[in-house]
Structure 1
Amino acid sequence: MKGATKFKRIKKANRARYQTKLLDKLANIRWWKKLKLGQKYGVALFVTIGLFTVSTVLTFFLLMIANSKMDTVKDSGDQAIMITESASIFHHKGSTIGNFIIDSNPKHLKTFDQLAEDFNTLKKEINPALTASETKELFTQIDVNDQKITSIFHDVIEPKVKLQHVREYRLAKLQADNIISETVEKLNTLSSMLKEEQKKAVSSAKSGLVLTLIVLGISIIISGILGIASILFIGRIISRKLNQIVHVSNEIASGNLNVESVEYDGDDEVAELSRAINSMKEKLQTMIQEINSVSGYVTERSGELNISANEVRAASQQVASTMQELSGGAEDQASSAARLSAMMDEYMEKVEEAANSGMEIKNASNEVLSLTKNGDKVMKESQHQMGLINKIMKTSVDKVNGLDEQTKRISRLVKVIQEIADQTNLLALNAAIEAARAGEHGRGFAVVADEVRKLAEQVSFSVSDITKIVEGIQTESNRVTGSLQSGYIQVEKGTEQIQLTGETFQKIYEAVNLMSKNVSNISNSLEQVSVSSYHMNQSIGSIAAVSEESAAGIEQTSASMAQTNHSMEEISDNAQSLSELAEQLNSMIAKFKL
C-alpha cells in the first residue's frame, strides 16, 4: 500500500515538472513576451471565437447540401407523378380510339389531339429532368411509341373507320393497343428507375444529416475544450508570476529583504511590476543598511555624549573641549538624519511607481474583461445562427409533408379512374347483351363491346399497379418525413447544446471578472505599502528634528557656561533620550533580514 502511494506521488511530481517545463517553454516564445496582458487574453478569445465560427460555417454548408438533396427527392417525386399521368394519358388514348371506332364521333378526334398535346407538355417537363442515360433512352422510346400511336390513329384508323373497313381498323386498333401496353410497361419501368433514384437521394440526404450532426457535435466539443484550455493556460502562466510577485511582496512586507528576486522576461504589465518589486527590494536593502550604519553611529555618539556629560559634571574645566566634541557629533547626527530622510523620499518614489504599475495591471484586467464581454456577444450571434438552421430544417419537413399530400391526391385520382373503368366494363357488358338480342345485325357491335370490356379490364389492372406504385411512394414519403423529423429533433438538440456552450462562455467571463478583482486587491495592497512608507518617512523626520534640537542644546550650553551644571543635567537627559531613540531605531531595523 505504501509503495503504491509513493509511486503515485512520484508520478504526480513528474507530471507537475513536465507541465512546468511546458509552460516555461511556451512563455519564453519571443512574440509572446512582447504582448500585453490584454493582448494575451485576446489571443485566447480570438482562438475560441474562430473555432466556433468555423464550426458554424461548416455546419451551415452541410445543411445547405442536405437541403439540396431534399430538393432532389422532391423533383424525383414530381417526375414519378408526371410518369403516372403519362401512363394515364396512354390509357385514355386507347379508350378514345375505341370510342371513335364505336361511334365515329369527331369529338374523339379532338380528345385524342388534346391528350397528345398534354403528353407533349409533360414530355417537355420530364425530359430535361432526366439525367441518367438509361432513363433518357427509355423515355425516347416512349416518345417514339407515342408518335407511332398518333400515326396509326390518324393515318390508318381514322380513314378506315370512315370507309367502314372493319378488318383494317381492327388490326390497326390491335397494333395500337399493343404499342400502348408496351409504352405503359416502359413508363412503369421508368417510374421504378425514378423510384430507385429517389431512394438513393433519400439515403444520401440521411447520411448528410447524420454527418452534419456529427460534425456539429465534434466541432462544438473541440471548440469548447480548446477555448477553455487556452484561457486556463494563459491564466496559469500569468498567475504563476503573479503568485511569485505576491510572495516576494509579502516577504518584503514582513521584513525579509533576503528573498530571491522575481525573474520574468517580458514586456507586459506583470514584467513591469516584477522589475518594480525587484528595484524596490534593492533600494530597501541599501536604505536599511545605511540606516543601520547611522543608527550604530548615533548609539556610539550617544554613549560618548553621556560620558562627556559625566566628565563635565566631575571636572568643569574640561567643559569647553567636551562641548566642542558634542557639537561636532550633533552636527554629524543631523547630517546623517538628513541623508536618511532623502533616502526615504527616494523609497517613497519607488513605492509610488509600484502602485502605478498595479493600477496599469488593473486597467489591463478591465480590458480583458471587455474582450470577454465581446466574446459573449459573438456567442449569442452563433446561437441566433443556429436558430436560422433550425428554421431551414422545419421548412424541409413542411416540403416533404406537401409531397405526401400530392401523393394522396394521386391516389384519389387513381380511384376515380378505377370507378370509370368499372363503369366502362358494365357498359361493355350491357352492350354485349344488346348485341346478342340484335342477333346477326349486332355481331359487329358485340365484337366492339368485347374489345371495350377487355380494355376496361386492362385499365383496371393498370390502375391496380398504379395504386401499388402510389402506395410505395407514400410509404417512402412517410419514411423521409420521419427521417426529417428525427433530423429536426437533432438540430433542436444542437441548438440546446450551443446554448449550453454560451452558458460555459458566461462562466469564463465570471472567472476573468474574479481575476480582475484579485488584481485590484493587489493594487490596494501596494497603496497600503505606500501609506506605511509615508509614516516611516515622518518618523525619520522626527529623528532629524530631535538631532537638530540636540545640536541647539549643545550650542546653548557652550554659550552659557554660567549654568554649566544645570545644562550638563539637561545634556545628560537628552543623551539618554537619544540613546533610547537609537535603540528604537535598531529594533525597527532588526525586523528586516538583509
Structure 2
Amino acid sequence: MLKGVRKFIPGKKERKESSKSKKFKIGKYLNKMASTKWWKNLKLGQKYGVALFVTIGLFTVSTVLTFFLLTIANSKLEIVKESGEKAIKITESAATFHHKGSTIGNFIIDSNPKHLKTFDELTEDFNKLKEEISPELSDSKLKDLFRQIDENDQKITSLFHDVIEPEVKLQHAREYRLGKLQADNIITETVDKLNTLSSMMKEDQQKAVSSAKSGLILTLIVLGISIIISAILGITTILFIGGIISKKLNAIVQFSNEISGGNLNADSVEYEGDDEVAQLSRAMNSMKIKLQTMIQEINAVSGYVTERSGELNIAANEVKAASQQVASTMQELSGGAEDQAGSATRLSLIMDEYLEKVKEASYSGNEIKSASTEVLSLTENGNKLMKESQEQMRLINQIMKSSVDKVNGLDDQTKQISRLVKVIKEIADQTNLLALNAAIEAARAGEHGRGFAVVADEVRKLAEQVSFSVSDITKIVGGIQKESNSVATSLQTGYVQVEKGTEQIQLTGQTFQKIYEAVNSMSTNVSDISRSLEQVSINSAHMNQSIGSIAAVSEESAAGIEQTSASMAQTNHSMEEISDNAQSLSELAEQLNEMIAKFKL
C-alpha cells in the first residue's frame, strides 16, 4: 500500500519544477491583482487583512480536508474494533461447544440432573451470543457459515434431549454411546466452522487495519502538502504586499528628504489608489506645489520690499539734504531781513516738493505693510500645512506600529499551536503506554487474550505513528514561526523608515516656523516704518504751515526762522530714523532672500 501511495508523491525534481511554476503563477496573479482599482483603493489594514484571510482560509481548507480523512480512518478503526469483538465472541462460542461436549460426557457418566441444567444454560448462552453476532455479519458467506453453526447447535440440543438423555435414563448403553459419538462429530464440525469463521473475520480485520494505515498515511501526506502550499501562498502574499508598501514608502521618504533639503524641483510621487500611502503621496505632492507657490510669492514680495526700501532710503536722503539746505537758508534769512521774503518763497516751494516726497514715501510704506501682511498670511498657511503633514506622518507611524503588533500576535498563535502539538504528543505517548499494558494483560490471559493482544499491538503502532506525525507537525510549525519572525523583522524595518520620515517632516516644520518668525519680525518693522512715515507727513504739514506763516507775516520773521530751524532739526532727526529703518528693512529683505535661496524652484 505504501508503494502505491508513493507513486502519487512527486519526486524532488518534479516538486522543484512544480514549485517554480506555482511561484511564477502566484507572482503573476498578485501583480495583476495589485494593478486593479479595487486593490489600490483598499486601506493598508484591509490589504493585510486580505492576506491574513487568504492564509487562514487555506489553513481552514487544509484542516477540513485532514478532518475528513481522519474521520474516514476513524470509521475504519471502528470496523477493526468491531471485527476484534466478533472474533472474541466466536472464540467464546467455540468454548461453549467444547463445554457442551464435556457436559454430555459427564451426564452419561453419572446421570446427574445438574448437567442437564448446565447444558441448557450453555444453549442459552449460545443463543444470546447468536443474537449479538448475527446482526453484525454483513458478508453472505459469513452469514451462511454462521447459519450452519446454528443448525448444528440445534442438532446437538435435539440429540441430547431426544436421544442421549432418555437412553441414559433407560441404561441403553449402545444407543446413548452412538448418540454421544454423533454429538462429538457435530461438535467437532461446529468448532471447525467456528474456527473458519474466526479466520475469515480476522482476514477482514487485517484488511481493515491495512486500509486504516493507508488512510492515515494519505492523511499525513495531504496534511503536509496542504500546510506547505498554504504557508507558501500566505507568506508570498504578505511579502508581496509588504514589498509594494515598502517600495512606495521609500519613494515618499526620498521625496520628503529632497523637500527638506530645499529641492522643490524633485519629481512628484506617482501612486494611484486611495490607501494611506496614496493619501500621503498626494499630500506630499500638494505640499511641494504649495511650497513652490509660497516661495515664489515670498521671493517676489522680498524683491519688491528691497526695491521700495532703496527708494525710501533715497527719498530720506533727499529729504535730509533738503532739510540741511532749509537750515542753511534759515541762517541766511537771519543775516538779512531784505532776503526774508524771497527765501520764504523758495522755502515754501522746497517744502511743497518735500511734502510730496513724504506722501510718496508714506504711500510706499503702506504698500510694503500690505505686502508684508500678505507674506505673513502665506507663511501661516504654510506652517499649518506642515503641521498637517506631521499629523499624517504620525498616523502612518501608528499604522506601521499596529502592523508590527499584529504580526507579533500571529507569532504568539503559532506558539500556542506548538503547545497543542506537545499535548497531542503526550496523549500519544500515554496511549502507547496503555497499549503496552494491555498487551501484557493479554499475554497473561493466554489463548483467550490473543485477539485483545492483536488490538493492543495495533493501538500501540497507531500511537507511534501519531507521535511521528506530531514531530513532523512540530517542524512545520517551527518553520511558520521562523517565517513570521522574518515578516515581523521586515515590518520593523519599515517602521524605522517611517520614523525617519517623521523626523524629516518635523525638521521641515521647524524650518517653516523659523521662516514664519522672520517674516513676522519683518512685518513688525514695516509697521513701525509706516507709522514713522505718517508722523513725518504730519510734521511736514506743520512745517508747511509754518513756512506759510513766514511768507504772510514778515514782521514775525525772526520768530518764524527760529521755529522753522527747530522744525527742520526735528525733521532731520526723523529722516535719520527713516533712513535707519529703511536700511534695516533692506537687511531683512536680504536675509529673506538668503533663506529663499536655499530652495530650488
Q: Bin the TM-score by the shorter chain.
A: 0.7 to 0.9
Whether 1:355 and 2:390 are equivalent positions in the alignment is yes
Once the two structures are TM-superposed, the CA of residue 537 in structure 1 deviates from its matched residue by: 0.8
Q: 1:211 to 1:395 in 2, by over 3 A?
A: farther
Q: Which residue, out of 473, 478, 494, partners 2:457? A: 478
- Report 1:242-321 matches (<5 A): 242-309=249-316, 311=318, 317=350, 319-321=354-356
Say whether the 8 Å CA contact 1:276–1:350 is kept in structure 2. Answer: no
- Which structure 1 residue ranges, 4+ long, deviate > 6 Å from structure 2? 18-24
Whether 1:562 and 2:568 are equivalent positions in the alignment is yes
Alpha-carbon separation, structure 1, partners of 2:511 and 2:591: 17
Aligned counterpart, 2:443: 408
Say whether the 8 Å CA contact 1:403–1:477 is kept in structure 2. Answer: yes
Once the two structures are TM-superposed, the CA of residue 406 in structure 1 deviates from its matched residue by: 6.0
Q: 1:556 to 1:20 in 2, by over 3 A?
A: farther
**Letter matched to residue 120 of structure 1:** N
Say whether the 8 Å CA contact 1:376–1:502 is kept in structure 2. Answer: yes
**Letter matched to residue 262 of structure 1:** V
Whether 1:489 and 2:495 are equivalent positions in the alignment is no
Alpha-carbon separation, structure 1, partners of 2:309 and 2:234: 68
Identity among equivalent positions (%) equals: 55
Aligned counterpart, 2:162: 155
Greater alpha carbon shift after TM alignment, 129-138 vs 109-118: 109-118
Alpha-carbon separation, structure 1, partners of 2:469 and 2:599: 68
Aligned counterpart, 2:477: 498
**Letter matched to residue 539 of structure 1:** A
Q: 1:510 to 1:49 in 2, by over 3 A?
A: farther
Once the two structures are TM-superposed, the CA of residue 132 in structure 1 deviates from its matched residue by: 1.7
Matched position secondary structure for 1:291:
helix
**Letter matched to residue 512 of structure 2:** S
Whether 1:546 and 2:525 are equivalent positions in the alignment is yes
Say whether the 8 Å CA contact 1:65–1:208 is kept in structure 2. Answer: yes
- Report 1:81-230 matches (<5 A): 81-230=88-237
1:333-369 deviation digits (Å, cap 9, x = unpaired)? 2221111111111112212222232333344345545
Say whether the 8 Å CA contact 2:239–2:487 is kept in structure 1. Answer: no
Alpha-carbon separation, structure 1, partners of 2:60 and 2:480: 13
Once the two structures are TM-superposed, the CA of residue 62 in structure 1 deviates from its matched residue by: 3.4
Q: 1:136 to 1:280 in 2, by over 3 A?
A: same
Say whether the 8 Å CA contact 1:209–1:487 is kept in structure 2. Answer: no
**Letter matched to residue 39 of structure 1:** Q
Aligned counterpart, 2:14: none
Say whether the 8 Å CA contact 1:74–1:400 is kept in structure 2. Answer: no
Aligned counterpart, 1:345: 380
Greater alpha carbon shift after TM alignment, 376-385 vs 330-339: 376-385
**Letter matched to residue 221 of structure 1:** I
Q: 1:413 to 1:578 in 2, by over 3 A?
A: closer
Alpha-carbon separation, structure 1, partners of 2:56 and 2:48: 12
Once the two structures are TM-superposed, the CA of residue 149 in structure 1 deviates from its matched residue by: 1.5
Once the two structures are TM-superposed, the CA of residue 150 in structure 1 deviates from its matched residue by: 1.5
Once the two structures are TM-superposed, the CA of residue 232 in structure 1 deviates from its matched residue by: 1.9
Alpha-carbon separation, structure 2, partners of 1:132 and 1:233: 58
Alpha-carbon separation, structure 2, partners of 1:107 and 1:586: 130
Say whether the 8 Å CA contact 2:44–2:276 is kept in structure 1. Answer: yes
Q: 1:478 to 1:19 in 2, by over 3 A?
A: closer
**Letter matched to residue 581 of structure 1:** L
Say whether the 8 Å CA contact 1:60–1:389 is kept in structure 2. Answer: no
Once the two structures are TM-superposed, the CA of residue 490 in structure 1 deviates from its matched residue by: 2.0
Say whether the 8 Å CA contact 1:330–1:551 is kept in structure 2. Answer: yes
**Letter matched to residue 29 of structure 1:** T
Alpha-carbon separation, structure 2, partners of 1:21 and 1:496: 30
Q: Which residue, out of 532, 551, 560, partners 2:511? A: 532
**Letter matched to residue 300 of structure 2:** S
Say whether the 8 Å CA contact 1:37–1:365 is kept in structure 2. Answer: no
Once the two structures are TM-superposed, the CA of residue 557 in structure 1 deviates from its matched residue by: 4.9
Alpha-carbon separation, structure 2, partners of 1:523 and 1:85: 84
Once the two structures are TM-superposed, the CA of residue 253 in structure 1 deviates from its matched residue by: 1.1
1:440-487 deviation digits (Å, cap 9, x = unpaired)? xxxxxxxxxxxxxxxxxxxxxxxxxxxxxx4x8846753552343233
Q: 1:570 to 1:477 in 2, by over 3 A?
A: closer
Runs of 5+ unmatched residues, structure 1: 1-17, 415-469
Once the two structures are TM-superposed, the CA of residue 186 in structure 1 deviates from its matched residue by: 1.2
Once the two structures are TM-superposed, the CA of residue 287 in structure 1 deviates from its matched residue by: 0.9
Aligned counterpart, 1:335: 370
Alpha-carbon separation, structure 2, partners of 1:24 and 1:492: 37
Q: 1:53 to 1:125 in 2, by over 3 A?
A: same
**Letter matched to residue 331 of structure 1:** N
Alpha-carbon separation, structure 1, partners of 2:483 and 2:151: 67
Alpha-carbon separation, structure 1, partners of 2:106 and 2:462: 48
Q: Which has the larger radius of gyration?
A: 2
Once the two structures are TM-superposed, the CA of residue 540 in structure 1 deviates from its matched residue by: 0.5
Once the two structures are TM-superposed, the CA of residue 518 in structure 1 deviates from its matched residue by: 4.6
Aligned counterpart, 1:422: none
Q: TM-score, normalised by structure 1?
A: 0.77
Alpha-carbon separation, structure 1, partners of 2:580 and 2:106: 149
Once the two structures are TM-superposed, the CA of residue 501 in structure 1 deviates from its matched residue by: 3.2
Say whether the 8 Å CA contact 1:41–1:234 is kept in structure 2. Answer: yes
Whether 1:241 and 2:220 are equivalent positions in the alignment is no
Aligned length: 521
Alpha-carbon separation, structure 1, partners of 2:403 and 2:502: 17
Runs of 5+ unmatched residues, structure 2: 1-24, 326-349, 541-566
Say whether the 8 Å CA contact 1:312–1:319 is kept in structure 2. Answer: yes
Whether 1:578 and 2:585 are equivalent positions in the alignment is yes
Alpha-carbon separation, structure 2, partners of 1:21 and 1:244: 23
**Letter matched to residue 568 of structure 2:** A
Q: Which residue, out of 32, 38, 41, partners 2:45? A: 38
Alpha-carbon separation, structure 2, partners of 1:137 and 1:186: 11
Compare relative contact order (CA 8 Å, sep 6+) and give the higher one, 1 or 2. Answer: 1
Q: 1:62 to 1:386 in 2, by over 3 A?
A: farther
Q: 1:52 to 1:73 in 2, by over 3 A?
A: same
Q: TM-score, normalised by structure 2?
A: 0.76
**Letter matched to residue 112 of structure 1:** F
Whether 1:47 and 2:54 are equivalent positions in the alignment is yes
**Letter matched to residue 117 of structure 1:** E
Alpha-carbon separation, structure 2, partners of 1:20 and 1:88: 70
Alpha-carbon separation, structure 1, partners of 2:598 and 2:140: 98
